[in-house]
């Protein structure tokens, strides 16, 4: 018996040793492949540098190789060279040294697009439409937006002279600007809406969003709000910790909000609420859309999984990956995906599987049929693999094609500039309304400018005609095609009238922004916000609100939807 045990132990030990040997061989092979391929890459570059017919630029060539390698992973893993670190810091901290203004390209020159309130550009009187001519005597003609942006940014406290050309002013204007620390607000707007409903727009999770959010919420509490709307639409995310901190304002201490899992144990972490909430009972709705991603999905997903708020809108983006920055030689940095995150129900909202690509290298969303059912704390069904599906889905309105072209051709921007020259003052942001005469003037401006825009109906009709000709149907259908072409004929005046509501709304926001900055523009936009109205109505209907958070109601609604289908 003793010999048998010794023999068994020896066999087991042999298996362990064999396993370790195989593991060692595997690691050695991987290390060999790494060394081999780095050596090949190094040799290829040396050969190119010595013998290629034209001169090779080392930085550009190697950067191309790095970017191609990272592109094969996911769009969030990126290399930042020392000269690009400002962009990374802006992404993480939400701040930079500059003048506090958005700039854009207009009629071949870089112009001021939107100065931020209480920041150097606005305080010194720079206005949208101002053409940037010179910085410290350096001519900006031919410079790109990125190049001019780099010249405007710099060390905090440094000064420069900016020369601009302004519409309606004969001579160029000069401004002496001092660069300041520009902190882009995470909460650009909050207010009390109808029926004592608080509204907070949270546009980012970079900088200090939790502090800004808390200040806004406490200010609204003092004004007597009895319910709250958190607007996360088009919030692309940011810092995970900040999302947890905001969730903690409404959820009990000790609740797990999110946990992460990566290849290495150091990336496995659990994030829980650490203190008592400010208000654990106030009814909350959260507005989301397909631009809500990352930290936005953590906050919205935690509220949904813990049945703390009703999510309203369209399905979110579906980014369930976590990035970490790693310092590199020569002042650079690598932002790389190190983990996936999971919200309280245990689901991961990642919508795209970058690991399993198609043969052509493309990737697609995880189909709904392959997602897994999870359950909220109350037992409601929720799914993984495709973002956060709202509790109350609202069909997203499609942007009219003509509006897209009016924006990129800066026709609305141009009209707003003209309007401001003619109107030194306007009513408050809440009271301002574009008149019929104003819109008529806009239409005339667009018509005179030889404005061109692509219409999808023309493309579809052209493709249909080609298919009909190929399949031999054109002879019998030629008259019908002629009639359809006549019906779909290009008519700018008709399209400007047909989509006037959407166009007027955008023109109004662009005009108001010039007098009352970003807050004014948001005020104007919310006047025609159907999702906001639905959120307010829901918060003022406790029975429906509580019903959406109960599993029985959720099952009943799923049954009704199935019957309709």
Q: Which residues contact 491 (CB under 8 A, 6 or more apart)?
A: none
Query: What residues have CB less than 8 Å from 274, skipping those under 6 apart?
Result: 248, 253
Q: Report d(CA 396, CA 196) in Å as an integer.
A: 27
Pairing outcome for strands 159-165 and 131-135: antiparallel
Q: Angle formed by the axes of helices 401-408 and 500-526, to 10°?
A: 70
Between strands 310-313 and 256-262, the pairing is unpaired
Active-site annotation holder among 149, 292, 294, 333: 294
Please check whether residue 199 is in contact with residue 219, taking contact to mean a CB–CB distance below 8 angstroms: no
Beta bridge partners of 200: 190, 230
State yes or no: is 294 an active-site residue.
yes
Retrieve residue 528's tokens. Answer: 């025609």
Per the annotation, the verdict on 436 as an active-site residue is no
Q: 485 is written with which tokens? A: 């072409």
Nearest to 525 by CA among 544, 509, 502, 547: 509
305 is catalytic: yes
8 A C-beta contact, residue 401 and residue 454: yes
The single residue of 208, 319, 335, 504 carrying the catalytic annotation is 319
The first and second tokens of residue 97, run together, are 């040294």
And the tokens for 58?
């080392």
**Distance between CA atoms of residues 202 and 221, nearest Å:** 17
Q: What residues act catalytically?
A: 294, 305, 319
């Amino acid at each position: 018996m003793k010999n048998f045990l010794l023999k068994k132990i020896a066999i087991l030990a042999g298996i362990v040793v064999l396993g370790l040997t195989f593991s060692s061989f595997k690691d050695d092979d991987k290390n060999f492949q790494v060394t081999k391929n780095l050596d090949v890459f190094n040799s290829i570059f040396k050969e190119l540098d010595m013998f290629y017919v034209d001169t090779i630029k080392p930085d550009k060539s190697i950067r191309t190789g790095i970017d191609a390698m990272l592109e094969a992973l996911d769009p969030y893993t990126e290399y930042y060279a020392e000269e690009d670190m400002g962009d990374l810091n802006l992404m993480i901290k939400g701040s930079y040294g500059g003048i506090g203004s958005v700039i854009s390209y207009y009629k071949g020159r870089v112009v001021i697009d939107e100065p931020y309130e209480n920041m150097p550009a606005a305080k010194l009187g720079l206005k949208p439409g101002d053409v940037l001519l010179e910085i410290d005597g350096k001519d900006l003609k031919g410079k790109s937006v990125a190049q001019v942006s780099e010249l405007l940014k710099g060390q905090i406290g440094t000064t420069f002279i900016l020369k601009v050309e302004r519409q309606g002013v004969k001579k160029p204007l000069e401004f002496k600007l001092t660069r300041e620390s520009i902190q882009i607000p995470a909460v650009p707007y909050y207010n009390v809406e109808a029926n004592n409903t608080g509204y907070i727009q949270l546009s980012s999770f970079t900088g200090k969003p939790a502090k800004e959010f808390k200040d806004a919420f406490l200010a609204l509490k003092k004004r007597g709000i009895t319910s709250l709307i958190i607007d996360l639409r088009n919030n692309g995310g940011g810092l995970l910790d900040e999302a947890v901190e905001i969730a903690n304002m409404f959820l009990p201490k000790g609740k797990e909000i999110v946990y992460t899992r990566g290849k290495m144990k150091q990336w496995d972490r659990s994030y829980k609420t650490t203190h008592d909430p400010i208000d654990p009972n106030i009814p909350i709705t959260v507005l989301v859309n397909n631009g809500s991603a990352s930290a936005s999905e953590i906050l919205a997903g935690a509220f949904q999984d813990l049945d703390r708020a009703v999510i309203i809108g369209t399905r979110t983006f579906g980014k369930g990956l976590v990035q970490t920055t790693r310092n590199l030689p020569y002042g650079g940095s690598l932002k790389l995906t190190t983990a996936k995150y999971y919200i309280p129900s245990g689901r991961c909202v990642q919508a795209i599987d970058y690991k399993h690509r198609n043969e052509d290298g493309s990737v697609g969303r995880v189909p709904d049929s392959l997602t897994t059912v999870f359950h909220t704390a109350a037992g409601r069904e929720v799914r993984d693999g495709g973002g956060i599906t709202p509790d109350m889905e609202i069909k997203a309105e499609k942007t009219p094609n003509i509006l897209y072209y009016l924006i990129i051709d800066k026709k609305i921007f141009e009209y707003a500039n003209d309007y401001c020259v003619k109107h030194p003052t306007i009513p408050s942001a809440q009271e301002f309304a574009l008149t019929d005469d104003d819109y008529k003037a806009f239409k005339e401006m667009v018509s005179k400018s030889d404005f061109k825009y692509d219409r999808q109906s023309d493309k579809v009709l052209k493709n249909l005609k080609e298919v009909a000709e190929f399949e031999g149907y054109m002879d019998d259908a030629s008259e019908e095609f002629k009639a359809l072409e006549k019906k779909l004929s290009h008519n700018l005046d008709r399209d400007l009238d047909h989509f006037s509501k959407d166009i007027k709304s955008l023109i109004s926001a662009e005009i108001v922004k010039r007098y009352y900055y970003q807050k004014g523009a948001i005020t104007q936009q919310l006047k025609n916000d159907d999702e906001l109205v639905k959120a307010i109505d829901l918060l003022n209907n406790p029975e429906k609100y509580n019903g959406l958070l109960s599993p029985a109601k959720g099952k009943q609604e799923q049954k009704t939807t199935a019957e309709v289908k």
